[in-house]
Each structure stands twice: as C-alpha cells, then as structure tokens.
Amino acid sequence: MRLTGILRSWNEGRGFGFIAPTHGGAELFVHISAFPRDGSRPVEGESLSYELGRGSNGKPQAVRVIRQAIGSRPPKAQEPKWRARTTNPLRFIGTVVLVVTVLAYGYNRLAKTPNQPTRALLPAVTQSQPQLSNTYRCDGRTYCSQMTSCAEATYFLKNCPGVKMDGNNDGVPCEQQWCR
C-alpha cells in the first residue's frame, strides 16, 4: 500500500532525511537509495509517495519512493559536488596563489640560511686556494667544530685568545677534524 508525505528535512552530505506522513504520525526515515536514480536530488518540502518497509536495524522507513509534483515549483537540479569544485575559477586561482606563496617562502628561507657556507656552491678556485689570514677575525669561536678549514683553525690558534683546538699542545689545531 502506497502512502504519501512531505520531505521535512534532508541531509545532503549524509544522504538521508525524514518524511512527515500526510495521514499523521511520527516522521519516517528515508535513505537516498529509496529514491529513483534519475540524477535529481531530494528537496525539502517535496511531496512524495512511498511504501512502508523496514531498515537494517528493524525500524520502519520509507522504501520505493516516487516524487509527486512540488506545489508551484519543480525540484531544482543540483550539480554534483565534484563538478562544482572544478569549475570554480576563483578556487583554482586561490590554490595557485597559495602554492606559489609557499614555494617562494621556502626558496627565500633556503637562500637566506645564515653562516652556513655550502662548499658545493662555492667556485672550485676558492676551494683549492689557501685562505689568507686577513680574511679571518677573532669572533668568539673556540672549538674545532666551529671551524670550516685547517687554515681557519690555525689562524684562530695563533691569533685568538682562549681557543681550545690543540689538545696535545703541539701547535697543530684540530688534528682529528681539519689538520690531519
């Protein structure tokens, strides 16, 4: 036996709603699978005819739903969510701007790393030439781990007070790391 009612509420995201029966009584659960697969979506306020069935939990629910005319307005066809997302040019532009901003920020952070010379980026000529002592200055570094070459460690040992780079006092600094 077919019954009639009005779709009182609909949760599009979860695919279910509730029908208020025309003959009265408690609202009845309805799942999206009970509607015909014609591409249109249920609309609140829509008149429906349905049969009474039982859900997987044993409770009554509407099954084999047929849509009736909706008062003076037809149900509006809704575009699928995936299509709406891909056709919005502002969303695409916003995504591109976000990606470019993140890449520019990362590049600037990488390019501005302080006091960490990268030997691979220095020209080969400067790596093979000994560094001159006038390029160094006593700046408070005292340990071998803070040096970048044997020449730098030698300069610090000879010219800077309080350095701790010559453990055996033989005049050769950083024998384990730089001056082998």
**What is the structure's pLDDT at 127?**
46
Q: pTM for this structure?
A: 0.38
The boundaries of the domain holding residue 8 are 2-67
User: CATH code at 42?
Assistant: 2.40.50.140
Judge whether 32 and 50 are in contact, CB under 8 Å. Answer: no
Number of domains in the chain: 2
Tell me what the pLDDT averaged over the chain comes to: 78
3-state secondary structure (DSSP) of residue 9: strand
pLDDT in tens, 60-101: 899 999 888 644 344 455 555 555 555 667 777 888 899 999
Q: Which residue, chain included where needed, has tokens 């610090």?
A: 156
- Domain end marker among 51, 67, 83: 67
Dig out the tokens for 113 from the structure. 């790393």
Beta strands 16-21; 2-11: pairing state: antiparallel
